[in-house]
Amino acid sequence: MKTTDEAFERSKGLFNICVTPFTADGALNKEALATNMERVIGMGFDGVLIGGTYGEFPAMTTEERADLFRTAVDIAGDRVPLLLCSAASDPRVCRDLTTLASDLGGLPMVTAPYVSEVTEGHIQAYFKQMATHSKIGIMIYNAPGIGITLSPSLIEALSDIPGVVALKQGDLNPTTVDRIVGRVGGKIRVLAASDLAMLGPIATGFDGFSSTNSCALPEIIQGTYKALVSGQFDTARSLNQVWFPLRELCRAFGQPQTTKAMMDLRGWVGGPVRAPLLPLTETERATLTKTMATVAETAGPRALSLAA
């Protein structure tokens, strides 16, 4: 992507939140990253998000994140838009990664500064500053899990900042979703941040959503999205219900470790997680294995096939 207009135009649809595959000794597994990205690109996903919260960026050094950006761009080229998460607790790191992401042709994704007693005025100034470091604009990531939740009124104010082209919205409360669509819909692109609650935002008017579980369940997630946007709501509801037991385990066991474990069960490489996250326990993995088998039987082999 080379311009803000292009970034706006392409920031829509179904984005895979790519987990970051590490080797047993903690290095970036570039071969697995390429395989995982090629899988969803080949299936026709609209874009890929690299190095987000479920990509474990807080546990990576700045140099590792820069290497991840460059590797992902080398893999994808310009075939699909890449969202490159440049969020950081240190504004200098965020600035440098935002500049790099833009120079590479990816859309930088920036969270609010996660420090104590930050005001809305501080947040507006922060995003205004970061937007100047990108040639093609930035995507705001409203990430309540990091510690700050942006209100609809603040998001509306942020949408007026030159260079803000999109929002990845993590607070998917129905009232909040309605307010965001009403206040900034059409002005900036709006993506739902999670596949754990995607039907409502898309039906309400979001431009798309990002999905971590599409690393492990790409057929089900993509089928649900296609049904939604084509108006086949009964099909979308049915597909969404099929993997409800797995969503429950994701909520109970945590992400991205559950998604990585599901990838293992399909014979794909998610790799280990980094501290402070922990892999699933033997009991949790046994429960996941049993649940995956049940979901696979219900969904059918075309939607979910497990490794032998």
- Catalytic residue ranges: 141, 168
How much is the pLDDT for 176? Answer: 96
Residue 136 has pLDDT above 70, yes or no: yes
Residue 306 has pLDDT above 70, yes or no: yes
- The whole-number average pLDDT for the span 189-215 is 95
At 308, the pLDDT band (50, 70, 90 cuts) reads: low
Query: Which tens digit of pLDDT belongs to each residue from 144-180?
Result: 888 789 999 999 999 999 999 999 999 999 999 999 9
- The whole-number average pLDDT for the span 301-305 is 76
Judge whether 204 and 177 are in contact, CB under 8 Å. yes
Residue 120 has pLDDT above 80, yes or no: yes
Cα–Cα distance, 304 to 159 (Å, whole number): 39
Place of tokens 């790099």: 100
Cα–Cα distance, 93 to 164 (Å, whole number): 19
At 301, the pLDDT band (50, 70, 90 cuts) reads: confident
Side chain identity, residue 83: L
- Nearest CA-CA partner of 259 in 82, 48, 20: 20
How much is the pLDDT for 303? Answer: 73
Mean pLDDT taken over the chain: 95
Query: Which tens digit of pLDDT belongs to each residue from 268-286?
Result: 999 999 999 999 999 999 9
Residue 243 has pLDDT above 90, yes or no: yes
In terms of pTM, does the model score above 0.75? yes
Domains of the chain: 4-230 (3.20.20.70)
Side chain identity, residue 37: M
301 or 177: which carries more pLDDT confidence?
Answer: 177
User: Which percentage of the chain shows pLDDT scores above 70?
Assistant: 100
Residue 225 has pLDDT above 90, yes or no: yes
Cα–Cα distance, 3 to 135 (Å, whole number): 7
Residue 70 has pLDDT above 80, yes or no: yes
